[in-house]
Structure 1
């Protein structure tokens, strides 16, 4: 990749913890652009995308579990994001979408999928994000983007930007799983989605997991999107995130995984999500996220 477009996804609408919309700027303040440019990659910062539909703090994420919370804002934001991502790929750039909560993947995958007949997805996360309006215990849309992208859930969200599913379940690999809801477990089992829990990672080692993931996808996909949630890492590493789960990946494991993905030359786009500076300690999580991005783009580990 010779040119990276940074697209700031300044959304907090997919979940209840305020501040994650500040994540893109926290990453910039942690020298994201300079660190990528050091690797002889041209960086074009496209700035931040915001929803035009405002919601005041008191009304944010209100409603019961049967309500898709901040629905209009999620729809509006992801339409804009999909268009920006689509345009970056048309112009020959690698889109790096920085967030922002994980509901942004609805838009990123919608924009990317127009360019690939069989898009693969590596979902590096503590959570499967495979809930829908029937199975979600909360109504928070950041727990649904992968299901929506597979064609499951609210019709308008499924058909956002372009009609129909954006990815096939058999073209997905889940890595880092340790907090799955019952409906998600059923969907994973019914669709035979390749899944690596933290137990699997500890038993196999991260190198074997990444190798198996790439082998699983290489012959049946024509592009692979990496969607990385910083809560895939243990909260000791990345405290500044909204839904931390103990027992996660270490930074060193994640840097190794990113180096493998870089060396494979198979990844065609990337989300880097759920950095919340209001929950962080001196921007530590953003700094770790920048080191993860740097490894992905080719920085050699000492």
Structure 2
């Protein structure tokens, strides 16, 4: 990655995979919180590509364990093509969600790009949830609880085949951080698939620094680092504006350290910012915290670091 990547912002205003309405307003809330000027203030060239336009949320019950499968497939294909197009041009895509089902389209595009460019891929999944459900395991049918499983080839054919390679990724490429809510059946599946998870107990015992050192270990010049940042990663005291709050998440300072350590690698090449729900927020506070943390991902720090 270049020291100063040219950034493309892509909005995906949908709550198609979520259990609450409102994440569709996330991209606009992040813009209101000055994501563009924050990044430009760090000397980065930023183009806002505007919002993708996909099907409306029909708000229907699940069919065969999936809610809104057809619409979720359409949105993820749109995201996949948009993210891949930016990577082909050598730009740094930031996807503004929208709910986290869109991580499937985004990460499958990054994986496709890495195959084409003969690069290794490392994915950091910053989230309160493992998002490793299937239609058999899910209590809700909401597809925002399934993108990691789909990326690993476990899901409906229409979703796992986005990107043209099944599975899109190996579970070995993912590091999940901040996890503290996993459904009963999902827990066994995460164990079977041998996902590397730094849950909140691990972070409590070992500290965020140690967790991040392990999550970022063995990155080299030929590794593309993708960060998928679900805003519910943060403790709800700092980020109330999400649909699925879970108490006991990282503090603001722990999250800052996490972002600064990612920035220090110089390897980040793409980013998702997901699940911000302004309808549940307080005066856009969660969007402002998210933008502040995104600034740190791009090297904002208190002092000049040696």
Is 1:18 aligned to residue 21 of structure 2? yes
Residues 106-151 of structure 1 show CA distances to partners (whole Å, capped at 9, x for unaligned) of 1101211111144221111000000111111110000000110111
Deviation per residue, 1:66-124 (Å, 9 max, x gap): 43111111111111111010010011111111111000101101211111144221111
Counterpart-to-counterpart distance in 2, 1:243 and 1:110: 24
Q: What secondary structure sits across from 2:93 in the alignment?
A: strand
Asked if the contact 1:170–1:191 (Cα under 8 Å) also holds between the matched residues in 2, the reply is no
Counterpart position of 1:256: 257
Q: Which aligned runs of 4 or more in structure 1 are off by greater than 6 angstroms?
A: none
How much has 1:220 moved relative to structure 2? 11
Aligned to 1:174: 176
Task: Indicate yes or no: 2:48 matched with 1:50.
Answer: no
1:278 aligns with 2:279: yes
Normalised TM-score (structure 1): 0.94
What is the CA distance between 1:65 and its match in structure 2?
7.3
Distance 1:143 1:50 in 2: 22
- Aligned CA distance change for structure 1 residues 38 and 220 (closer, same or farther; 3 Å): closer
Q: Is the CA contact (8 Å cut-off) linking 2:262 and 2:268 kept in structure 1? A: yes
Moved more, 259-268 or 140-149: 259-268
Question: Could you say what secondary structure the match of 2:25 adopts?
Answer: helix
Aligned partners of 2:190 and 2:30: how far apart in 1? Answer: 32
Matched, 1:224 2:225: yes
> Where does 1:1-302 land on structure 2 (aligned, <5 Å)?
1-51=4-54, 53-55=55-57, 59-60=58-59, 62-64=60-62, 66-117=64-115, 118-215=120-217, 218=219, 222-301=223-302
Structure 1 Cα separation of the partners of residues 222 and 233 of structure 2? 24
The answer to whether the 8 Å contact 1:14/1:69 transfers is yes
Counterpart CA distance in 1 for 2:225 and 2:268 is 5
The 8 Å contact of residues 65 and 136 in structure 2, kept in 1 or not, is answered as: no
Aligned partners of 1:219 and 1:193: how far apart in 2? 21
**1:205: how far off?**
1.2
Structure 1: gaps (5+ residues): none
Superposition RMSD in Å? 1.6
Mapped to 2, the partners of 1:174 and 1:221 lie a distance apart of 21
1:247 CA drift (Å): 0.5
Q: Secondary structure at the match of 1:114?
A: helix
The count of residues paired between Structure 1 and Structure 2 equals: 296
TM-fit CA distance, 1:221: 7.4
Shift of 1:50: 2.4
Partners of 1:233 and 1:101 lie apart in 2 by 16
Moved more, 27-36 or 200-209: 200-209
SS at match of 1:226: strand
Q: Which moved more, 1:62-71 or 1:93-102?
A: 62-71
